Amino acid sequence: GVIRSYDFTISRGILAPDGYEREVLLINGAFPAPLIEANWGDTIQVTVHNHITHPEEGASLHWHGLLQKGTPWQDGVPGVTQCPIAPGESFTYQFLADMYGTSWYHSHYSGQYSGGLFGPMVIHGPQSQEYDVDIGPVLLSDWYHDDYFSLVEQTMAANSTPVVADSNLINGKMNFNCSSIAHKDATPCVSDAGISKFKFRRGKTHLLRLVNSGAQGLQRFSIDGHKMTVIANDFVPVEPYDTKVVTLGIGQRSDVLVKADGDLEAYWMRANVSRICGRNHNPDAVAAIYYDDAKEDEEPKSVASDVPDPGSCANDDLDLTRPLMKMELPEPDLIIDMEVRLFTNGSGVKLWSLDGVSFRGNYNSPTLLLSNLGNLTFDEEWNVRIIQGAKSVRVHLINNTTVPHPMHLHGFNMYILAEGEGEWDGRINHPENPQRRDVFQVRRHGHLVMQFDAAENPGVWPFHCHIAWHASAGFFIQFLTGHEVVETMRIPNVVAETCRQWAKWTHTNIPA
Ligand code: C2O
């Protein structure tokens, strides 16, 4: 493969994606951030300059869903694989495009990505199904008028009110009704910011690369008058199945094929945030699809498909989703039971815990660098679980809360063995070829049983809820796999350099 090089400058700028002006985190001046595109087997190289000002803050970029086999230090997780990139400093990521399909990249520094630091990533590989037109990424993201740090604070406060999205965006666009806030807010706002528009060619089959790149909401995506054929979930091609609605938790992707066989000239595509599974007032998003020569200044007149929200807050039925490339489930040699809880600590702060610990980030000495030095004693609040010798690890997760969660594992595709309400009945879904994904929803008061082949990828790999503020408030565990291999890894000096730069910056900026 060849090297695909990108030069990214991160900054803060005033932007109004939905018409309401706010400070947005940008890459090379753009929101959403630029597309990263490569062929399977290529090397992707991204030099990141942290030019964030007013205020300055750390940053990092994570390449969601790539395995980083042999390069765990390129995973982009501050406190786990590197220190944050300090303001004014740069860091060059270089890693293999080791999976193919649709994904995204995003900051992994606190809840920062929800302030705008995310972009699409497409890795071209073998085509499992025929299509005529690649429409490209369709990013669905709930959007907030407040900065991410105040939202994180808001969710953790003792008397916290749930965070409600102000908008829902498709590829960074949607119209916001400014009159709903004008009386109490002097922020510049226009009600006709504009929506995203797509072209369809009549009779042709189109590939849409759906990504939930939001902060909190479970998206339900549909196109009026059309059915969709799902051909991949996350980075895993599946046996095609038809549906009128695709459900995507945060971080999840689905590649869908859509045949332009409608009677009208224009249609709405819709991204509805599940109200039952989230909050009552979440706004929806639309974008327009125009066939051939349809007039793009006219709004589509199509009517929404009848796709009632089942309210389960679950992904598509596991029975529907069979990977095309068959992989049998190995016997696990370690079974871990863990529970998710929400609690209020002694200071009245609302926190999440996973496996009995509410994770607290350790930005100054990343777990991977410590393990590389043979130091395996970690503070309890870092929530590191050392996987000793096990080849395949089964995790039996109990969600003891009233909220559904998109659970994400780094470094592996999880085998999804079971998911459902209440307790697990012990039944494994298609052990001869279970669904594999890197994010899977667990419903409220439900269970998720997944497994991963730990021995195949030595490193430190977070398993966390992908809701921006849940991860920031402790819903995060790190699996240290193959520590004897990690000890012999030759981690480039530039990784430790991020820590020297970060220490220098924090020393100047946070006087003791
Ligand atoms: Cu999409 Cu831990 O990340």
Structural element, H or E, at residue 370: helix 367-372
430 close to ligand 1 (CB < 6 Angstrom): no
CA of 451 to the centre of ligand 1 (A): 18
251 close to ligand 1 (CB < 6 Angstrom): yes
- Which residues of the chain fall short of a pLDDT of 70? 182-185, 279-280, 510-512
Structural domains in the chain, sorted by start: 1-126 (2.60.40.420), 129-311 (2.60.40.420), 334-481 (2.60.40.420)
Amino acid, single-letter form, for residue 412: F
464 close to ligand 1 (CB < 6 Angstrom): yes
322 close to ligand 1 (CB < 6 Angstrom): no
253 close to ligand 1 (CB < 6 Angstrom): no
408 close to ligand 1 (CB < 6 Angstrom): yes
The two three-digit tokens of residue 146, written as one number: 């407040």
| This prediction's pTM | 0.97
Cα dist from 133 to 244, 290, 315, 331, 341, whole Å: 20, 14, 27, 42, 45
Q: What is the pLDDT of residue 511?
A: 55
Please tell me whether residue 498 adopts helix, strand or coil conformation. helix
Q: What is the pLDDT of residue 159?
A: 81
Q: What is the pLDDT of residue 182?
A: 62
CA of 129 to the centre of ligand 1 (A): 28
CA of 64 to the centre of ligand 1 (A): 6
Asked whether the beta carbons of 246 and 327 are under 8 A apart, the reply is no
Ligand 1 atom 1 nearest Cα: 64
What secondary structure does DSSP assign to 305-351, as a single string?
A: ------S----S-TTT--BSS--PPPPPSEEEEEEEEEEE-TTS-EE
CA of 183 to the centre of ligand 1 (A): 38
Phi, psi for 52 (deg, rounded to 5): -70, 125
405 close to ligand 1 (CB < 6 Angstrom): no
Q: What is the pLDDT of residue 141?
A: 97
Ligand 1 atom 3 nearest Cα: 64
Atom number in ligand 1 closest to CA 104: 1
CA distance linking residue 175 with residue 161, whole number of Å: 25
Q: Identify the residue whose tokens are 């990108």.
A: 6
Q: Which residues contact 330 (CB under 8 A, 6 or more apart)?
A: 391, 392, 451, 453
Q: How many CB atoms lie within 10 A of CB 278?
A: 22
420 close to ligand 1 (CB < 6 Angstrom): no
Residue among 423, 420, 252, 442 at smallest CA distance from 354: 442
220 close to ligand 1 (CB < 6 Angstrom): no
Cα dist from 241 to 224, 252, 312, whole Å: 18, 17, 20
CA of 465 to the centre of ligand 1 (A): 9
Q: What is the pLDDT of residue 510?
A: 64
64 close to ligand 1 (CB < 6 Angstrom): yes
Longest dimension (CA), the chain: 68
CA of 474 to the centre of ligand 1 (A): 14
CA of 305 to the centre of ligand 1 (A): 32
DSSP bridge partners of 121: 36, 103
DSSP 179: G
Atom number in ligand 1 closest to CA 77: 2
Q: What is the pLDDT of residue 158?
A: 82
22 close to ligand 1 (CB < 6 Angstrom): no
437 close to ligand 1 (CB < 6 Angstrom): no
Question: Using CA of residue 213, residue 216, residue 218, residue 220, what is the dihedral sign?
Answer: negative
Phi, psi for 152 (deg, rounded to 5): -60, -45
Atom number in ligand 1 closest to CA 439: 1
- Residues 43, 48, 50: CA angle, nearest 5 degrees: 170
CA of 159 to the centre of ligand 1 (A): 28
Q: Identify the residue whose tokens are 């590191």.
A: 384
In this prediction the ipTM stands at: 0.99
470 close to ligand 1 (CB < 6 Angstrom): no
CA of 2 to the centre of ligand 1 (A): 26
CA of 71 to the centre of ligand 1 (A): 16
